[in-house]
Amino acid sequence: MPADNVKELFEQRLGRYQAAIALEPTDRIPIAPGSNNLAEVYSGNTNQQTIYDPEKWLQAEEVFMRDFPEVDVLRNNRFYAPLYDAVGCKTYSMPGRDLAPGNQIQFNEKEYMKADEYDRFTENPGLFMYEVFLPRALGEFSEAGSMRTFTAALKGGMAYMMAGQVMRNRATILEQKYGMPQPMTGAFLAPFDVLADAMRGLNGIMMDIFRQPDKVIKACEAATHEIANFALSIGDPFKRYPIFVPTHKAMFMSPDQFEKFYWPSFKKTVEILIDAGYSIRAYLEGDWGPHLHRLRELPKGKVLCDIDTPGDIYKAKEILGGYQCIAGGVDDADLILGTPRQVRDAVRNLCETVGKDGGYIISGGCHIPYDTKPENFRAMIDAVMEFGVYDASIAPKPKEVNVEKIHVSELDPQKMVTPWNIKKEELGGIQGDEQLIRGPWEQLESMAYNWIWQWVF
Amino acid sequence: MKELSESLRDLEEEKVYTLVEKYVNEKLPVLEIIDALNEGMVAVGELFSQNTYFISQLMFSAEILKGVMKKLDPLLEGQETQDARKKVVIGTVKGDIHDIGKNIATTLMRGSGFDVIDLGVDVPAENFVQAVQDTGAKVLGLSALLNFTYPEMKNVVDAIKDAGLSDQVKIIIGGAPVNEQVRKFCGADFVAADAVDGVNICKKIYG
C-alpha cells in the first residue's frame, strides 16, 4: 500500500528496517544496503563532489530517490573531506585531491605506532594519541607548539562541528522531505582494529600477535572503553538507527587467533553499546565464515551483519538464522557486469531461501557498487517487490525507544583531559549554581576527548 | 635440513634463526639452506590450502623468511636463488592503491622459486606491457581490491593483446572482487581464488 504522506513513509521504512534487524515479522524484505554508493554517483556527480560539497551530495540522492523510491535507506557516515584537509590527515587518499575525482576514497596503511610502543598506549591511550599518534598521522600537527599546529587543532574542532551539522541537516531533510531514514548513525571500530588499522597496520599487527601477544591483548582492553565512549558520543540520540562497525582484520585471522585477540574486546564493546540501548550494524569484511558462530553469543536481533562478497550468505543464514539479521548476497560482479535477468534470478533465489523467514536485508557485498548498472539495480528492487513480500497487510511501525541515557555499569566513565573536580579546585569554589557551569564544561571536555579518537578510523 | 623446513612451517621464528646460523657456521651450501626454507614455505602454503593456516600465518612465515634472507643474501655472492627462466610480472592495477594481496602472492611465488617482478600499486597498462616485453615473462598477475577496477583489468588485457604479447604471456587476475564472471569480462586467462591458488597456476603455466 503506497504511503500517502512523508511521515507515514518514514515510519514504514524505518519500521520495516527495525523489524528485520530485530527478527520480527514485517511486510517485505527491506531494501537497505548499508552503503548505497550508486546513489551518490547516479546523478552524474563525482566522488569528489560527494565528500566536498554536501549540497551536491544531497542533490544526487534526490535524483536517485525519484527513480528508486522503493529503497528503504540511503548511506550515511560519509566523509566530510574538509575536516581531513584541516588537520592534514595522512591515512586517506581523497578523490579530487590525491586521486582522480571519479575514484573512491582509499585508506593508506602505515605504522603510525611502533612495535615497541604498546606499553605507552596501554598506560594512557588518550595521552598516547595526543603525544604520539596525532603528530604522526596528522600532517598539520607535526610541529608541537607552533601556530600552525594550534590553528590546525582549532580548524579540526570547527570542521568536526561542521561535519556533524552537514550530517544532521541531511538526515533532517531526508526524513522530513522524503520520508527517508538512515541505515546507521555513528561508528566505531573493534578495539583490535583500533590498533591494527591506522596504528600498526596489517603487517605490524600480524607480527605483534606472534611476537608480543600479551601486549596486544592488554592494548585491546585499554582501547575498549575509549572506543565505546566514542561510539556513544556520536550514536543517534533517539536510538532509532544502529551504530556502525566496519570490521577489518578478523578476516585474516585463524579461529584461535580471533578468539584470543579479536573477539573478547569486540564482544565487550558491542555488549556495552547494546546495554546502552543501541543496535549494531557490523560490516563483516572478507570471509567471516570461521568466526560467524561467535555472533550467536550476542543478544538476539541486535547485530545486523553485512556479509561481504567473499563470504557465503547461505552459510551465514545457517549459522545466524534466528540469532542475528543478515544483509547481502547480491554479487558485486552481477550488479556491475551482469544482466537484469541474471540479477532477478539471483535475487529471487535469495528471497526464497535466506530471506524466507525474515531477518534478511537485500544488499550487495556490504555495499551497492558505484559502477552498478542502473537497470540491474532496478531488477534487484523489482525482484524484491515480486518475491520478497511476507505479508502485505502488515503496516510497519518504528519501535518505541527509551531515549534516556542509560548508565552502563560495565563502561568506564568518559575520560576528560581536565575533569571538573580539577577545574573546580583551580577556580577555588563556585559562587552560584555549579551544575550550570559543570554541564557545559564536561560536555566540551568530552567532545574534545572523543574528537581525538575519530582519527583511528 | 628437514628440521629447518619444519620449524619454518611451524612458524618457530627463533628456532629458524638459530638453525640457519648453525648451518652457516658449519659452512653448509647456502643454496641448500634456501631450498630447505622454500620447502618450509611450500608446506605453509599447503596448510593454508587446508584451512589450517590463515593469512596471518602466511604473513608471518613471509616475515621470518625475509629476516633470514637478510642474513643469507650477502653470502650468495651472485648465485641465483630463483630460476631466472620462471619470471612473473605482478602489480595492482591503475586506480587501486591496495597491496596486501599482491604482496602475499609475491612472497609465496618467490618462495616457490619464481623470479617475481613487482611493479607496485596503481600501475598503468603501459607499464605492464613494458615489463612483459622487457622480461619475456610468461605470467602476468593483476591484483585488485576495489570492484571499480574491472574495466582497468580489461584495459590491461587489451593492451597486452594490442602489443602482440598474447602468445607469450598468460594473465591471472586475483583479489577479493574477482570471480569467473570478471575473468570473462576482462578476457584474462585465469582467476586465482587466493595467493596459493595463484602460485599453483604459475606452476602449471611454467610446467
Domains and CATH numbers, chain B: 2-76 (1.10.1240.10), 83-206 (3.40.50.280)
* CA-based nearest distance A184→chain B, Å: 23
Please indicate whether, in this complex, the C-beta atoms of A202 and B100 are within 8 angstroms of each other. Answer: yes
Of A320, A129, A85, the residue nearest A223 (C-alpha): A129
Average pLDDT over residues A413-425: 97
Domain presence at residue A273:
yes
Report the range of poorest mean pLDDT among A28-37, A159-168, A227-236, B71-80. Answer: B71-80
Contacts of residue A100 in chain B, CB cutoff 8 Å?
Answer: 95
Query: What is the structure's pLDDT at B108?
Result: 87
CATH assignment of the domain containing A338:
3.20.20
Please indicate whether, in this complex, the C-beta atoms of B100 and A211 are within 8 angstroms of each other. Answer: no
* CA-based nearest distance A259→chain B, Å: 14
Report pLDDT digits (tens) over B19-48. 999 999 999 999 999 999 989 998 998 999
Cβ(A77)–Cβ(A366) under 8 Å?
no
Average pLDDT over residues A127-142: 97
Is it the case that residue A129 has pLDDT exceeding 60?
yes
Confidence grade of residue A4 (pLDDT, cut at 50, 70, 90): low
Is it the case that residue A110 has pLDDT exceeding 60?
yes
Is it the case that residue A352 has pLDDT exceeding 70?
yes
Mean pLDDT of chain B: 93
* CA-based nearest distance B124→chain A, Å: 14
Contacts of residue A337 in chain B, CB cutoff 8 Å?
Answer: 150, 181-182, 185
* CA-based nearest distance B34→chain A, Å: 22
Domain presence at residue A178:
no
Report the range of poorest mean pLDDT among A100-104, A268-272, A382-386, A440-444. Answer: A100-104
Is it the case that residue A303 has pLDDT exceeding 90?
yes
A-B C-beta contacts closer than 8 Å: 77
Domain that holds residue A447: 6-37+68-75+183-456
Contacts of residue A93 in chain B, CB cutoff 8 Å?
Answer: 97
Q: C-alpha cell of A385?
A: 517487490
Cβ(B5)–Cβ(B40) under 8 Å?
yes
Average pLDDT over residues A441-454: 97
Average pLDDT over residues A181-195: 97
Contacts of residue B66 in chain A, CB cutoff 8 Å?
Answer: none
Backbone angles phi, psi at A46, to 5 degrees: -90, 165
Confidence grade of residue B83 (pLDDT, cut at 50, 70, 90): confident
Confidence grade of residue A307 (pLDDT, cut at 50, 70, 90): very high
Determine the residue of chain B that is closest to A109 in CA distance.
Answer: B98
Query: What is the structure's pLDDT at A1?
Result: 41
Please indicate whether, in this complex, the C-beta atoms of B11 and A210 are within 8 angstroms of each other. Answer: yes
Domain presence at residue A59:
no
Domain presence at residue A308:
yes
Query: What is the structure's pLDDT at A425?
Result: 96
Domain presence at residue A419:
yes
**What does pTM read for this prediction?**
0.94
B60 contact A CB<8A: yes
Report percent pLDDT > 70 for chain A. Answer: 99
Backbone angles phi, psi at A266, to 5 degrees: -65, -45
Domain presence at residue A216:
yes
Domain presence at residue A176:
no
Question: What span, in angstroms and rounded, lies between the C-alpha atoms of A315 and A440?
Answer: 49
Average pLDDT over residues A255-275: 98
Report pLDDT digits (tens) over B88-124. 999 999 999 898 889 989 988 988 889 999 999 999 9
Determine the residue of chain B that is closest to A287 in CA distance.
Answer: B176
Residue in A207, A251, A370 nearest the CB of B63: A207
Determine the residue of chain B that is closest to A285 in CA distance.
Answer: B176
Of A30, A25, A92, A21, the residue nearest A282 (C-alpha): A21
Report percent pLDDT > 90 for chain A. Answer: 97
Report pLDDT digits (tens) over B142-164. 999 999 999 999 999 999 999 99
Of A83, A196, A94, the residue nearest A140 (C-alpha): A83
Q: Structurally, how many domains does chain A consist of?
A: 1
Report the range of poorest mean pLDDT among A140-149, A383-392, B64-73, B75-84. Answer: B75-84
Domain presence at residue A223:
yes
Complex ipTM value: 0.90
Question: What span, in angstroms and rounded, lies between the C-alpha atoms of A317 and A331?
Answer: 16
Query: What is the structure's pLDDT at A75?
Result: 85
Determine the residue of chain B that is closest to A257 in CA distance.
Answer: B56
Residue in B56, B147, B179 nearest the CB of A252: B56
